[in-house]
Amino acid sequence: MRAVVQRVSNASVDVEGKEIGAIKQGLLVFLGVEKGDTDKDLEYIVNKVSGLRVFEDADGKLNLSVVDVAGEILAVSQFTICGDCKKGKRPSFDNAAPAEVGNEYYEKFIAALRAENIKVATGQFQAHMYVSLVNDGPVTILLDSKKTF
């Protein structure tokens, strides 16, 4: 399971010209589910995202989590982050989980964050989405439950 996590001052997602999810200060999380991912991979990503210390404390150090700052999360499913570009110039998405598995883990990801009392807005699984954001910092973190990077 992979996630691209961006600290944002605001972010939103539109589908067919209608805003379906928006947040103010917090994290925009693009989530990619890979073949073979398990609940253990999900737990790893949820714990990392909710505890990631990427917000500044009173001393200006990145020492606070989204929970600490009462921030929000915009969760967007994105199978393309499972793409492999090692061969050629067109990404292979063979390692992405089938849609039904991807959606199951995307929904579990959202539920797990909400269980930690984090306000979570969402995109729409398998929709063509337009995501807008103001990356704060910029701060962007790559997470991989298999720790390949």
pLDDT digits (tens, 9 = 90+) for 132-141: 999 999 999 9
Instruction: pLDDT band for 148, please (50, 70, 90 cuts).
Output: confident
Classify residue 145 as left (phi > 0), alpha (psi -120 to 50) or beta.
alpha
pLDDT digits 0-9 by tens, 2-56: 999 999 999 999 999 999 999 999 999 999 999 999 999 999 999 999 999 999 9
Q: What separation in angstroms does the CA of 28 have from each of 10, 12, 25, 80, 87? A: 9, 9, 9, 16, 29
pLDDT digits 0-9 by tens, 43-90: 999 999 999 999 999 999 999 999 999 999 999 999 999 999 999 999
103 contacts 109 by C-beta, under 8 angstroms: no
Predicted local confidence at residue 108, as pLDDT: 98
Residue spans of the domains in the chain: they are: 2-144
Class of CATH domain 2-144? alpha beta
Predicted local confidence at residue 67, as pLDDT: 98
Active-site hit among 6, 30, 55, 78: 78
pTM of the model: 0.96
80 catalytic per annotation? yes
Which residues partner with 120 through β-bridges?
73
Active-site hit among 80, 93, 126, 140: 80
Classify residue 54 as left (phi > 0), alpha (psi -120 to 50) or beta.
alpha
Predicted local confidence at residue 149, as pLDDT: 74
The mean pLDDT value for 97-124 works out to 98
Predicted local confidence at residue 97, as pLDDT: 98
79 catalytic per annotation? yes
